Structure 1
Amino acid sequence: MMLIEETSVPDTALPVDAFKAHLRLGSGFGTDSLQDEVLVSFLRAALAAIEARTGKALLRRVFHWSLAGWRAVDAQALPLAPVHAVSTVTIVARDGAETVIDPQRYWLERDAQRPVLRSTGAALPGVPKGGSVTLVIDAGFGAAWGQVPADLQQAVFLLAAHYYEFRHETSLSDGCMPFGVSSLIERYKSVRLGFGAIQ
């Protein structure tokens, strides 16, 4: 499986000014924008870390997902949420030939944790041996920062501030996640069901 971000979050969508206020950085000195590039980099890093831990796309954008075959004959759980639409489903043969599937053959079951692509018939289109299937997915809470849930906004700020304050520290353990951040994102983590579940 391979999930690729087709459209990235523009710098203008990132809450740089709000993050400055969170850090209590001074303003009105004519040098307010000097650290913007650094702050943007830490916001992007925090955003990516929160998305990876929760399986949620915070800001809305387009993703390209490729997999070798369906998890179940008639349904496939999607790798992130919330999903607004599955724009296209394309079957790719081993020789590279592509077949775009009629949207009437599938539908999106929306879910806050694990949205699912389901067949309108008995089965999703077959994936040939050695081939793959690719989906174009529109996902995210919204295009504007204000559409992201408040607790996830706070988690991003806390983690980005942690990165900022310890930017010169090299002895922190890999995957370090402050407790406050872990608490805020806990309820957003994907629920993994037992054997046989659609995943």
Structure 2
Amino acid sequence: MMLIEQTTVPGAALPVQALKDHLRLGSGFADGAMQDGLVESYLRAAMAAVEGRIGKALIARVFKLVLPDWRDPAGQALPVAPVSAVESVTLVDSAGAGTVVAASRYRVMPDRHRPRLVALGTLLPSVPVDGQVEVVFTAGFGASWAAVPADLQQAVLLLAAEYYEHRLEAAQAGAVPRAVQALIERWRNVRVLGGGAA
């Protein structure tokens, strides 16, 4: 399985000013925008860390999932939530030729943690021998920061502030502040039975 992020979060969608306010950075100076690039980089790092821990895209973007075969031909779990749309499903043969599957053959079964691409009918279409299937989908709470749930917004701001304030110190590998852990806990995906349907 390979998950490829096809689009990135545009800078305009990031809460740069909200983080600057959170950090109580001065404003009104001639070089007031000098910190924007640094603040944006810490926001992106904090978002990536939170998304990695909860398995969800905060701001909507397009992903491509590449699989050698369906894990379950009746329905394939998608690794990022929440999914708003499946753009395409393409079967690729061993020579690299792709065949787009008609949208009438599948649908998205929404789920807070593990949305699934399910067959409309009996099974999802067969993947060619030595080929692969590519699923392009859009995932995220919405296109703007305002669409992100308030507790996840706060977690990102707290973590970005932590990165900013300790930027000159040696990093503690994998350390996430307790306040951030508490905010993201209800969003974490708890797998049971070894993730068999994942």
SS in 2 for 1:35: helix
In structure 2, the residue matched to 1:78 is 78
How big is the shift at 1:195?
A: 5.0
Inter-partner Cα distance in structure 1 for 2:195 and 2:38: 45
Inter-partner Cα distance in structure 1 for 2:195 and 2:15: 41
Is 1:25 aligned to 2:31, yes or no?
Answer: no
How big is the shift at 1:69?
A: 1.1
In structure 1, the residue matched to 2:4 is 4
In structure 2, the residue matched to 1:174 is 173
Inter-partner Cα distance in structure 2 for 1:61 and 1:195: 28
Which stretches of structure 1, 4 residues or longer, exceed 6 Å deviation after superposition?
none
Inter-partner Cα distance in structure 1 for 2:127 and 2:42: 40
In structure 2, the residue matched to 1:137 is 137
Is 1:42 aligned to 2:32, yes or no?
Answer: no
Could you give the per-residue CA deviations for residues 9-50 of structure 1, whole angstroms, max 9, x where no partner exists? 111110111110100111122221110000000000001111
SS in 1 for 2:32: coil
Inter-partner Cα distance in structure 1 for 2:58 and 2:129: 35
In structure 2, the residue matched to 1:61 is 61
- Alpha carbons of structure 1 residues 195 and 4: separation in structure 2 relative to 1, 3 Å: closer
Inter-partner Cα distance in structure 1 for 2:142 and 2:126: 33
How big is the shift at 1:191?
A: 2.3
Inter-partner Cα distance in structure 2 for 1:93 and 1:177: 43
Q: CA RMSD in A?
A: 1.1
Inter-partner Cα distance in structure 2 for 1:56 and 1:73: 24
SS in 2 for 1:33: helix
Is 1:183 aligned to 2:160, yes or no?
Answer: no
Query: Taking structure 2 as the reference length, what is the TM-score of the superposition?
Result: 0.96
Inter-partner Cα distance in structure 1 for 2:11 and 2:107: 33
In structure 2, the residue matched to 1:91 is 91
SS in 2 for 1:48: helix
How big is the shift at 1:196?
A: 7.4
In structure 1, the residue matched to 2:193 is 194
Percent identical residues: 54
Could you give the per-residue CA deviations for residues 64-109 of structure 1, whole angstroms, max 9, x where no partner exists? 1111111112101100100001110001111111111011111110
Inter-partner Cα distance in structure 2 for 1:104 and 1:191: 31
One-letter amino acid of the structure 2 residue matched with residue 117 of structure 1? L
Q: Which runs of 5+ in 1 are unaligned?
A: none
Could you give the per-residue CA deviations for residues 132-180 of structure 1, whole angstroms, max 9, x where no partner exists? 110111110011101100000000001101110111112x331121111
SS in 1 for 2:34: coil
SS in 2 for 1:112: coil
How big is the shift at 1:127?
A: 1.1
One-letter amino acid of the structure 2 residue matched with residue 78 of structure 1? L
Inter-partner Cα distance in structure 1 for 2:69 and 2:46: 32
